[in-house]
Structure 1
């Protein structure tokens, strides 16, 4: 009897151990930050996003019960094949349960499909493509931060309301630029404005003189910039030399980052209108998060970096509530069930198609006289509520209930 009792006790012990192992794979909750750490997007993502992920883990206590939480990181080099290879290795061999940020749309579209195949979790903020909640939606990923529709919609609709009723676009000549111009142009027209014309500039142009002259000659009240990073900053910088603002026209940036304005300086960037879901000086909670981030990074967080803090925080809440990280679909379902709330992005929710919902904000870049110090760059023009900010559910997404 004693032998049988010992055997039963050992069996129960092994069963308990097996259950714990199944609840948290490898007895660790492991998060991978997959982003650009050496290229075009390094300033808006890069090491700052890794810091943000680690801050979220620390604020969560570093553990779920007795299970530790770890953060690993890798550079996807903005290449789909590189990103996909890292994701596959992480999920299969290195115990990564969730991949965060995932810079570049081609990388993101590849990684979310891998997450679906392997029943893991992917949370995207480093890509703006609307396909992530459209024909490429999956039950294993969430799209955080913003997308092309939200950026175009928030900026174009609000600017038209402010009196910017006629537009001319300077557009980067590739898929991203074309999509931004189309979406913003459609919204301008729907809001009662007009699109006078547009011109397309090659990616990574250094000379925008001819494009600016066409925009200036159009007489449009607003020059919509369907470009990003260096193309955006070069357009605005050269626009100052051409007297765009002095002539009564206004730039509306459709994809603008805090680091762009820091690099440009307020003398060149002043007056530019832009929309984002996060600004470090928006309220007491964002300032609390941003000042802590600044102590580690030496710069204020971008909307992307703040998004990583937000998404990791909510992922951990879902895993804790579920009691497991083993079933990626179940974790994402729990993320959709729970309301979101953190110091970076505030309160929000995750929609059935995986779209993270929160307000968007229209800002105007301050004049040098209005700014009190470095990073004090924006003044709030208007808040775009959730019900107006985001693209309606896309029937192309298989997760959207059929009518």
Structure 2
């Protein structure tokens, strides 16, 4: 009896002192920080920390902690990390989560637990389709937008025959599907495709098949180190010298830096962010580079954006309860250095402008980081798939 009374008095004292209120709000940043996607994901943790610092390191009187983990591009590892973070470590939100197969696995865990996942770095459009979630969001790009912006521009320019070189997993399959639809809608034809394993080092046989197709466009439905290696080897084989053109359907500024302008010049690509767009993006990039000296890409900027909007929503909701926070995230417009007046839809898609860029020629560049020229700004309602077409179970047409 006395023990119970003593325990009650201790709990009351802790409550009165605010000890419980000071329990940290934990955010998890998960990514493929080693392997084929390392160069495009390293920097996401620092970006999330920048958002935390921007709100003063606390929300609702609680200190904010950022956890990080490498899922190694393996869905089972990603799912295990998510389960531990949610169940054991008290993580309220997970972000980053590149690699589509991992993203879909983490989404299942988040749905099971009723927790928040804000995906900034995976491509599959299924995250706002069959795998949509009331407590999940897709923040930066997806395969539909990449196919729609880059694919439409190239197809409308008279490139009516395409050959797909596709990474053999969920992301590559989704991107090939979406590009094929765009090319066909613009009167073109995909004359063939070949699948390659993720992280392959030798693209010679795949590129020779693409070259033999005589297609005007060889479209790379892959990402990270796979895209870089494919372009390098295509350049070595002289494929583009014969009149065929490469289309990098998902390419990052970090990839262009890795390739160099002499190799990447002329490539058309779609991104949601570029460091040199305006004074805000330049100022943010300068702050980021004090933490990690590399050019930030859209994955990195997106992790900052998603984390900042989440923290603003927690503050506005007065709680970190997932559904209340998600309601605020949808209610509040997304405004930061990357996104202006963005709107988070019911299916989890953040609707924001996308940009069509062309990689500069060396003669056009004013410095090593001056890599893009802006070709077009595509409003979000034109770039992304209409919500009614996504087959998201949350949406009643």
Asked whether the two chains share a fold, i.e. TM above 0.5, the reply is yes
Alignment of 1:379 with 2:386, yes or no, is: no
In structure 2, the residue matched to 1:261 is: 256
In structure 1, the residue matched to 2:114 is: 119
Distance 1:67 1:209, change over 3 A: closer
Q: How many Å separate the matches in 1 of 2:255 and 2:382?
A: 26
In structure 2, the residue matched to 1:74 is: 69
TM-score by structure 2 length? 0.89
Please point out which of 206, 210, 214 is paired with 1:215.
210
Q: How many Å separate the matches in 1 of 2:126 and 2:28?
A: 23
Question: Structure 1 residue 245: deviation in Å?
Answer: 3.4
Assess if the C-alpha contact under 8 Å between 2:163 and 2:210 holds in 1. yes
Alignment of 1:45 with 2:41, yes or no, is: yes
Please point out which of 287, 290, 294 is paired with 2:285.
290
Please point out which of 186, 206, 211 is paired with 2:181.
186
Instruction: Give unpaired runs (5+ residues) of structure 2.
Output: 1-7
In structure 2, the residue matched to 1:169 is: 164
Q: How many Å separate the matches in 1 of 2:186 and 2:62?
A: 52
Alignment of 1:308 with 2:303, yes or no, is: yes
Assess if the C-alpha contact under 8 Å between 1:44 and 1:304 holds in 2. yes
**Higher mean Cα deviation, 316-325 or 212-221?**
212-221
Instruction: Give unpaired runs (5+ residues) of structure 1.
Output: 1-9
TM-score by structure 1 length? 0.88
In structure 1, the residue matched to 2:323 is: 329
In structure 1, the residue matched to 2:356 is: 362
Assess if the C-alpha contact under 8 Å between 1:306 and 1:345 holds in 2. no
Give the superposed CA RMSD.
Answer: 2.6
In structure 1, the residue matched to 2:193 is: 198
In structure 1, the residue matched to 2:270 is: 275
Question: Structure 1 residue 153: deviation in Å?
Answer: 1.5
Q: How many Å separate the matches in 2 of 1:29 and 1:155?
A: 39
Assess if the C-alpha contact under 8 Å between 1:226 and 1:255 holds in 2. yes
Q: How many Å separate the matches in 1 of 2:17 and 2:287?
A: 38
In structure 2, the residue matched to 1:390 is: 384
Distance 1:65 1:166, change over 3 A: same
Assess if the C-alpha contact under 8 Å between 1:112 and 1:140 holds in 2. no
Question: Structure 1 residue 197: deviation in Å?
Answer: 3.2
1:100-111 aligned within 5 A: 100-111=95-106
Q: How many Å separate the matches in 2 of 1:208 and 1:74?
A: 30
